[in-house]
Amino acid sequence: MRRENGKDLEVLTFGLEGEVFAVEAESVREILDLVSVTDVPNSRPFVSGLINVRGKIVPLADLHIRFGMAPFNQSVDTRVVVIEVPLAGEPTTVGIIADKVFEVTNLIDASIEEAPDIGLKWRREFISGIGKRAEDFVIVLDMERIFAMGDTETVAQAEAAAKNHS
Amino acid sequence: MNSPDPGEIFRTEAQELLEQLEQALLDLETAPEDGELISSAFRALHTLKGSGAMFGFDAAARFAHGLENAFDLVRKGKVAASGALIGVALSAKDHLRLLIERPEEASSDESARILANLAKTIGAAGTAETAAATDEGADGATQGETSSATYRIQIRFPEDVMDNGTNPLLLIGELQDLGTCTVSPLTERVPPLDDIKPSACYVGWDVVLTTEKPRSAIEEVFIFVLDDMDLRVEKVEETSKRLGEILVERGDTPPDAVLTALSNQQRLGEILVKDGAASKERVASALAEQRHLTAAAAQAPQKAQPLQDSIKVPAERLDNLMDRVGELVIAQARLREIATASQDLALKVVAEEIERLASELRDNTMGIRMVPIGSLFGRFRRLVRDLSRELGKKVQLFTSGEETELDKTMIERLNDPMIHLIRNCIDHGLERPDVRTQAGKLQEGRVELSAVHSGAQVIISIKDDGKGLDRTRIRARAEEMGYLAPGAKVTDNELFQVIFQPGFSTSREVTNVSGRGVGMDVVKRTIEGLRGAIEINSTEGHGTEITLKLPLTLAIIDGLLVRVGLGRYVIPLSMVEECVELTPEQNLRAKNRNFLSIRGELVPFLRLRDMFNVTADAEPFPKVVIVSAGDLRVGLLVDQVIGDHQTVIKTLTKLHADVETFSGATILGDGSVALILDIDHLIDFGRAQEERLKAS
Amino acid sequence: MAKTVLTVDDSASMRQLVKLTLGGAGYTVVEATDGADGLDRARSAAVDLVVTDLNMPRMDGISLIKELRKLPSYKGVPILLLTTESDDDRKKEARAAGATGWITKPFNQDQLLGVVRKVLGS
């Protein structure tokens, strides 16, 4: 975990298929409505689109696919969260699709727990921690890892590989 | 002043240190493992280096640095204090004494010789470090900027910052000395009185600073605490901004909250505070920034530049200008779309006028970014000299076409691949002097760099008169690596392209020079990343020539906009030969062969719909765009040819590095994104797909 | 009142340079020849700033900083470390030990004075 001790973690919370996820607010640049996506033929399904963010061409990622959910379905609540993540050491602007964006909130230090090994639907490498907000769990994502992962590796494959190891 | 001169004191002190060093070395001969003796020698050298540099004994300091590095390795247990090492160190100590006491009598060759000896004695572990010591220090000072800019600086210290003797107020004061400053303290982290620790710092600061100093000067102020604190420095435009814009930019308020507040038509700041969307202090701080910016914007036009024949402009500003021109070109494309659809004659006339101006502005701006390639060639003289010495080969460097101009970004990115190619030339291409004499060549090898314009391209060549590429060995290696079927017939060019495959190296002896760092595959990727191509020609026994073909600029090209399914794509116009219609009969006939007869010549074509997995309905009368790639003519089957398009090239991120069929993307008049086709890779991809189909 | 600076260095020429520079700017300069000596002097005099070398016999600069920070009267007193380029990776260690900042050798008198004013104010 890259989190510094004794500090609150400011996050943006958003929903994917009913689960609440969060990204560190520091990495969020802006939140946009989803308009006009350009397909990149033969790219990885997880990052198959490009969007125009104020004259900048930005890849659009669908975390649904990364997490083994069905691809996103556009609704009135769909938003693009524009974040900046380091990719191979270079800060890169990326858009991620959210079914719904909730709020910017502080997770106090004590409530962020290291991701447990078991009892998780998602690969723990993707998760930088689990916070509690009221009675709900918030999954704080490690965007750098999510984008850094191998070209063709899918969650299912990676999980299968992990099982074979243990 | 009656105090003694520190330089004189250093000389006296150096004598003592040299004696301390000598004693330690002599004692080490009998007790080579004694840690205290090793530390003592190291400390003496460390002080000689540090103080020597302070008092103007540069040569002595550099030399001491080389020795210090060696003893650092001994100290860390990586190298033993052997008899041989102590022998060299003792002679080094005598030389060091000479460097300090009678520097005019000491020769730099002797310094180099001793350090080389030392490097040999301690082996590979220390070569890099001791070699570094003989290298001259950093070159030229950086240019100072003279124009002023405004920065938003957000300063948050850790609470215990004052424990280490840092005084935050002094730092804020230093910032104020840099220029015109608006400081807003933020006290929201201050706890209730009972909980306050007097030695803790709870206050944060937002500062808006207009300064002529570069951004680094701001970071310099905080240099000692930079790692422990949260410092954000952002450049802000000196224009009057709305409060909401500032709050959102600073990340103090979400954009939605501002919009909601705005729709209520009261004073924004008050509403945001009331809604709890931003604290009162943050709003006050943003208001302070607003006032500062408005004042700075009012000041700015009064500072007129003195009239000069030529002016120096920071590269960053040129990049900004190019970006703006790019945006103008995109906006102009939108205007053209509107004008074309309109009946308004006056609008059409203005649109055409603006198109002409935008295109001229584009060419002029690109012209400003052009730099002669001589600046790049110049850097290689030193490289060639060093390499020839290192490898014991005699080399002469010839250059021509230094005046050829190229986009400055291109020149920067060419640096690394060129270094690699020149290294290869000298390391693998050129023979040693004795071998050359036997082969009837001059002892001194030739390396030629040249550059020349050819249409919209620049052609750079790196040529040597060495032994040439060994076809048999390359073929053997290629077959071994599985890049070539055994016995397959290939042209020279095809065979040589194998060199660019990852992991390919036929060099039997891995030398220090080309055995490390990047491979030829990286060179090729870099050149292709610049939308260029790389070719090799070689005659056994006579030498090798590597040719780089590069576009003049990276920024804007003329393109042909086409549609495939729902997607729109740009084909670089310089590669387009003609467009023809494919009749349904031809289409049917060509179903299985994908060849087209153009004026009696058979041209293969690629169905982009299939390649891009398009499912949308096909046009009954698709078009074929004939492109030329090298000696090859290939047709691209598209649904529709939309027309010419001035294309502002934007690169794709690493997330799409695996998709080689596109060299970049651009923004169209309606704001949507179109991909730019990379013709060479597209053809490769099409072929591979065909092979797969045939095989299955 | 003139502020007091303690210079800790095993090199007499370096101490002399610090003394010349800071003495000339109106500071009172006290000298110590290594870390252990520096600690003794720091205990017996009221010092406003410590400038110490890194590599010294008996007690090195980082140990000295650690010892000084243990003394209640030295909590919050700025301590500057004299380093060379090759000690780059030790700056972090020095910060953790409680150093306020550093000056990289070689430096000239103006640079030294600049850094001292930075931590003491002018």
Domains and CATH numbers, chain A: 9-165 (2.40.50.180)
- Chain B within 8 Å of A95 (Cβ-Cβ)? no
Q: What is the longest distance spanned by two Cα atoms in chain A? A: 47
Q: C110-119 as b/e, with b when 16 or more CB fall inside 10 Å? A: eebbebbebb
Name which of B8, B23, B51 to mutate to probe chain C: the one with the most chain C Cβ atoms within 10 A of its Cβ. B51
**Total count of domains within chain C:** 1
pLDDT tens sequence across B285-301? 888 887 787 777 766 55
Q: In this structure, which amino acid lies at residue B24? A: A
> Counting one residue from B and one from C, how many pairs have CB atoms under 8 Å apart?
101
Among candidate residues B142, B33, B41, the one with its CA nearest the CA of residue B82: B33
Tokens encoding A42: 């033969």
Higher pLDDT, B455 or B168: B168
First to last CA, chain C: 13
Considering chain B, what is the average pLDDT of its residues?
A: 80
Q: Peptide bond before B168: cis, by omega within 30 degrees of 0?
A: no
- As a whole number of angstroms, the distance between CA B575 and CA B564 comes to 18
- Chain B within 8 Å of A87 (Cβ-Cβ)? yes
Q: In this structure, which amino acid lies at residue A141? A: L
Confidence of residue A159 (pLDDT cuts 50, 70, 90): very low
Instruction: Mention the CATH class of domain B372-551.
Output: alpha beta
Tokens encoding C116: 């001292």
Total residue length of chain B = 696
Considering only alpha carbons, which residue of chain C is nearest residue B168? C119
Range of the domain at C115: 4-120
DSSP string, B110-148: HHHHHHHHHHHHH-HHHHHHHHHHHS----SPPPPP-S-
With contacts defined as CB-CB under 8 Å, which chain B residues touch A43?
Answer: 656, 658-659
Q: In this structure, which amino acid lies at residue B242? A: R
ipTM of the prediction greater than 0.90, yes or no: no
CB B314 within 8 A of CB B145: yes
Given the candidates 1.20.120.160, 2.60.40.10, 3.40.30.10, 1.10.760.10, the CATH classification of the domain at B6-134 is 1.20.120.160
Q: Is the pLDDT of residue B139 over 70?
A: no
Q: Is the pLDDT of residue B608 over 70?
A: yes
With contacts defined as CB-CB under 8 Å, which chain A residues touch B254?
Answer: 31, 104
Among candidate residues A116, A15, A136, the one with its CA nearest the CA of residue A127: A116
pLDDT tens sequence across C49-64? 999 998 888 888 899 9
CB-based contact B164 C100, cutoff 8 Å = yes
Backbone angles phi, psi at C96, to 5 degrees: -65, -35
pLDDT tens sequence across B439-462? 888 888 899 999 988 766 789 999
Question: For position B368, what pLDDT does the model report?
Answer: 82
CATH of domain B149-299: 3.30.70.260
Packing angle, helices B268-275 and B280-299, rounded to 10: 160
Question: For position B367, what pLDDT does the model report?
Answer: 79
Name the helix (H) or strand (E) containing B460: strand B457-464
Backbone angles phi, psi at B141, to 5 degrees: -70, 155
Q: Contact partners of C by the rule of 3+ C-beta pairs under 8 A?
A: B
Name which of B21, B43, B47, B227 to mutate to probe chain C: the one with the most chain C Cβ atoms within 10 A of its Cβ. B47
Q: Mean pLDDT across the stretch B248-262?
A: 73
With contacts defined as CB-CB under 8 Å, which chain C residues touch B15?
Answer: none
Higher pLDDT, B370 or C80: C80
Question: For position B636, what pLDDT does the model report?
Answer: 93
Residue with tokens 């723990």: A124
Total residue length of chain A = 166
- The chain C residues in contact with chain B (CB within 8 A) are 10-14, 16-17, 19-20, 23-24, 55-57, 69, 75-79, 82, 84, 86, 92, 95, 98-102, 105-107, 118-121
Considering only alpha carbons, which residue of chain A is nearest residue B665? A57
Q: Is the pLDDT of residue B357 over 70?
A: yes
- As a whole number of angstroms, the distance between CA B615 and CA B208 comes to 54
- As a whole number of angstroms, the distance between CA B222 and CA C79 comes to 16
Reduce the secondary structure of B552-601 to three states and give it as a string. CCCCEEEEEEEEECCEEEEEEHHHEEEEEECCHHHHHHHHHCCEEEECCE
Higher pLDDT, B637 or A132: B637
CATH number of the domain within which C95 lies:
3.40.50.2300
- As a whole number of angstroms, the distance between CA A63 and CA A58 comes to 15
* Ranges in chain C, pLDDT < 70: 1, 85-88, 122
Q: Is residue B424 exposed (0-12), middle (13-18) or buried (19+ Cβ within 10 Å)?
A: buried
- Nearest CB partner across the interface for B164, out of C16, C55, C99: C99
Q: Is the pLDDT of residue A98 over 90?
A: yes
CB-based contact A59 B656, cutoff 8 Å = yes
Q: B317-340 as b/e, with b when 16 or more CB fall inside 10 Å? A: eeeeebeebbebbbebbebbeebe
Confidence of residue B185 (pLDDT cuts 50, 70, 90): confident
Chains A and C touch (3+ CB pairs under 8 A): no
- Enumerate the β-bridge partners of residue B419: none
Domain range annotation of chain B = 6-134, 149-299, 321-368, 372-551, 556-695
Question: For position B309, what pLDDT does the model report?
Answer: 60
Question: For position A29, what pLDDT does the model report?
Answer: 92
Q: How far, in whole angstroms, is CA B639 from its chain's centroid? A: 39
pLDDT tens sequence across B57-88? 888 888 888 888 888 888 888 888 888 888 88
CB-based contact B6 C79, cutoff 8 Å = no
Question: For position B684, what pLDDT does the model report?
Answer: 85
Chains A and B touch (3+ CB pairs under 8 A): yes
CB-based contact C86 B65, cutoff 8 Å = yes
Q: Mean pLDDT across the stretch A61-77?
A: 88
Question: For position B512, what pLDDT does the model report?
Answer: 44
CB B70 within 8 A of CB B85: yes
CB-based contact B164 C13, cutoff 8 Å = no
Q: Is the pLDDT of residue B133 over 70?
A: no
Among candidate residues B540, B584, B553, the one with its CA nearest the CA of residue B646: B553
Q: Mean pLDDT across the stretch B578-605?
A: 78
Question: For position A7, what pLDDT does the model report?
Answer: 64
> Counting one residue from A and one from B, how many pairs have CB atoms under 8 Å apart?
80
Q: Is the pLDDT of residue B24 over 60?
A: yes
Among candidate residues B184, B380, B195, B379, the one with its CA nearest the CA of residue B282: B184
Residue with tokens 């500032």: B246
Higher pLDDT, A80 or A110: A80
Confidence of residue B491 (pLDDT cuts 50, 70, 90): confident
- Chain B within 8 Å of A7 (Cβ-Cβ)? no
pLDDT tens sequence across C29-47? 999 998 999 998 888 888 9
Distance from CA of B566 to the nearest CA of A (A): 9
Tokens encoding A41: 């033929």
B499 secondary structure, DSSP code? G
Given the candidates 3.40.640.10, 2.30.30.40, 1.20.1250.20, 3.50.50.60, the CATH classification of the domain at B556-695 is 2.30.30.40
Higher pLDDT, B275 or B424: B424
CB C36 within 8 A of CB C60: no
CB-based contact C95 B227, cutoff 8 Å = yes
Question: For position B450, what pLDDT does the model report?
Answer: 93
Q: Mean pLDDT across the stretch B337-350?
A: 89
Most confident of A26-40, A122-136, B497-511: A26-40
pLDDT tens sequence across B116-127? 888 888 775 444
pLDDT tens sequence across B200-215? 888 888 888 888 888 8
Q: Contact partners of B by the rule of 3+ C-beta pairs under 8 A?
A: A, C
pLDDT tens sequence across B96-117? 888 888 877 777 788 888 888 8
pLDDT tens sequence across B397-435? 888 988 888 888 788 889 888 988 998 888 888 998 888
- CB contacts under 8 A, B 612-651 vs A, are 612-613, 650
Considering only alpha carbons, which residue of chain B is nearest residue C103? B224
Q: Helix or strand or coil: residue B394?
A: coil
CB B665 within 8 A of CB A50: yes
Alpha helix stretches (DSSP H) within B31-123? 35-54, 58-75, 83-101, 108-122
Q: How far, in whole angstroms, is CA B663 from its chain's centroid? A: 18
- Nearest CB partner across the interface for B656, out of A25, A31, A40: A40
- The chain B residues in contact with chain C (CB within 8 A) are 1, 3-4, 6-7, 9-10, 12-13, 40, 42-43, 46-47, 49-51, 53-55, 61, 65, 68-69, 72, 162-167, 170, 173-174, 199, 223-224, 227-228
CB C3 within 8 A of CB C77: no
Q: In this structure, which amino acid lies at residue B662? A: F
Name the helix (H) or strand (E) containing B498: none
CB B60 within 8 A of CB B48: yes
Tokens encoding B147: 């124009």
Question: For position B50, what pLDDT does the model report?
Answer: 81
With contacts defined as CB-CB under 8 Å, which chain C residues touch B13?
Answer: 11-13
First to last CA, chain A: 23
Question: For position A151, what pLDDT does the model report?
Answer: 42
Q: Contact partners of A by the rule of 3+ C-beta pairs under 8 A?
A: B
Q: Is the pLDDT of residue B477 over 90?
A: no
Question: For position B240, what pLDDT does the model report?
Answer: 63
Question: For position B248, what pLDDT does the model report?
Answer: 76
Name which of B164, B225, B228 to mutate to probe chain C: the one with the most chain C Cβ atoms within 10 A of its Cβ. B164
Q: Is the pLDDT of residue A61 over 70?
A: yes
